[in-house]
Amino acid sequence: MPDDTIAFPNPQATSQLDGEFPGSEAFDFHRKLPGYRQSPLIDAPGIAEALGVGKVWVKDESSRFGLPAFKFLGASWAVYRVLLERVGGAIEPWQTFDDLKERFAPLKPLTFVTATDGNHGRAVARMAHRLGFAAHIFVPREMAQARIDAIQGEGADVTIVDGSYDDAVTQAAALAADDTLVISDTAWEGYTQIPRWIMEGYTTILRELDDQLAAAGDSRVDLVAAQMGVGGLATAVVWHYRRPPLVDRPKIVGVEPLAADAILRSAQAGRMVEAPGPHTSIMAGLCCGVPSVVAWPIIAKGIDVFVAIADEWAREAMRALARAGVVSGETGAAGLAGLLALLSGPEREQYRRLLGLTPGSRVVVISTEGATDPVAYQRIVG
């Protein structure tokens, strides 16, 4: 591989996982929310030609419920489940956010707290605001000002942490109390249920994808690329494509930055390990030094190839997606970036064989965000 890419074929990969898999509850919840619509599925023939495959579908998550990323899917489902537990597990029928606000009003005052590299924190703040609760979001020092401004625009208090995303997670977690609920998308020992609900929320993307491919007349998927970060989205992808009794099981490639390659390092070590900092990458949403303890056991067996890439691959992928008509930010383009890195280097034929790719293969890429930092997007894409 080139010096700007590290790839690790997973010796533990399996085509089917055992255990508990999410049902359709999160999908049913999202479809009931005001403003719900499927995210677009874009046919990208130019990208397919670049990768040497028959078809590339891009699931464009640049406008979920009016936010420029997929994260509201996880945040909304987790907040709903937490509040539902607090009122005893059931509420009267509802149709609008105002209905939900009324059902959960007896729980006030409550503050939702989380750490973020941008998109998750804004999603938590949006859900809190719509339900009439407060939000307090912790962000790392290096986060782009545009992302901080967007979170504050949702009515949340923002604390800038003099450190990394993982430092922000630690500070947010310390505030947990009866009137302060931590809605973190990463997990640690003793804190696993809420991150699992967040990952369940992301499965809506895959359920929509199935429906859209069926409507297009070709449901076959041979390869899926998924961003990793702490492992939330990648877990949703593995749950979807490694659950029984599926017969056609696509290969899954997991992608993260070289500067924050905790999952790749963990796969190489055969156990969870930390990636040393500083975790500096333009793929800000993936700058995480420690995998989620909920995600790790699932992706450790469900992903076929782990890939860590330099920032330039993300820039190239952003430009390729722009040519296909998709506005994708640095993190949003990372899945495609990993495939470009794998299939452009001197070992590309080896990886084509490993992934079973042919000129007729069907590939799915999830573009997880739009231009969350417009200045950076303009500089890169032009």
Catalytic residues, which ones? 71, 117
Sheet containing 111-115: give its strands across.
157-161, 134-140, 111-115, 180-182
290 CB-contact burial (10 Å; exposed 0-12 / middle 13-18 / buried 19+):
buried
DSSP character at residue 115:
E
| 65, 36 Cβ separation under 8 angstroms | yes
Q: Which DSSP helix (H) or strand (E) runs through 60?
A: strand 55-60
Contacts of 139 (CB under 8 A, 6+ apart): 115, 116, 117, 118, 121, 147, 148, 151, 158, 159, 160, 161, 168
DSSP character at residue 277:
S
∠179-32-331 over CA atoms, to 5°?
A: 70
